[in-house]
Chains A and B, each alone.
Chain A
């Protein structure tokens, strides 16, 4: 079955970087964009950016420009999200999600499946 499996929880100090992995299985990794979404405790979903695993092209939310880098290793069907200059406000669960789209009578995009989430805690 189509599945995304993320790396385990991380604890980082302010100013450090974190790199979260997302391993895809059950489909052709290079055929679908991977998006990253985060969620602070008790808060809503926040979109961070996307990566095309085939080309390596990326697009980031303005809020994270300059701090986030999304990469991939196609030989092991794994996407990565690295966030630098961490601060306490970056404490959150980080999700990867596969993006699909269809252009019919209108444009539609959707995220399915999602990874299980990775808790990143930033604390001194």
Chain B
């Protein structure tokens, strides 16, 4: 079982703001990275580090961290943001990686 905990499902009205969280002890030592996965596709990096977006990721995606919790915020959610979102971090030992269980985002 994952040591990174995510809510299984979250919903947001079109154009509104949604926050997806990830909790785990390892997040006190390591930044999380976030991945978006749409059905039948490979995961895509959306946020890494303190709050870094890869080229091509819209600026409505942002990240933050406090204590043992990392958050992914989508400001002004769009229909195309409907997807599964996974957080990832090194584990507490620092030697391995782990993923959260994933959050299914529904845009209403």
Interface extent on B, as a size class? 20 to 34
Q: Is the CB of B42 within 8 A of A95?
A: yes
Task: Assess whether A29 is interfacial by the CB under 8 Å rule.
Answer: no
Chain A interface SS verdict (over half): strand
Stretch touching chain B among A13-21, A43-51, A71-79: A43-51
Interface core residue of A59, A61, A114 (most chain B CB under 10 Å) = A114
Q: Is the CB of A112 within 8 A of B31?
A: no
Q: Is the CB of A45 within 8 A of B102?
A: yes
Q: Is the CB of A106 within 8 A of B42?
A: no
Residues of chain B lying within 8 A (CB to CB) of residue A44: 2, 86, 99-102
Residue numbers of B with Cβ under 8 A of A are: 2, 29-31, 33, 35, 37, 42-45, 48-50, 52, 54, 86, 88-90, 95-102
Residue numbers of A with Cβ under 8 A of B are: 35, 37, 44-47, 50, 59, 61, 95, 97, 102, 104-117
A-B contacts, 24 listed (Cβ < 8 Å): A37-B43, A44-B86, A45-B86, A45-B102, A50-B97, A95-B42, A104-B49, A106-B29, A106-B31, A106-B49, A107-B29, A107-B30, A107-B31, A108-B30, A108-B48, A109-B30, A109-B33, A109-B90, A109-B97, A110-B33, A110-B48, A112-B45, A115-B42, A117-B42
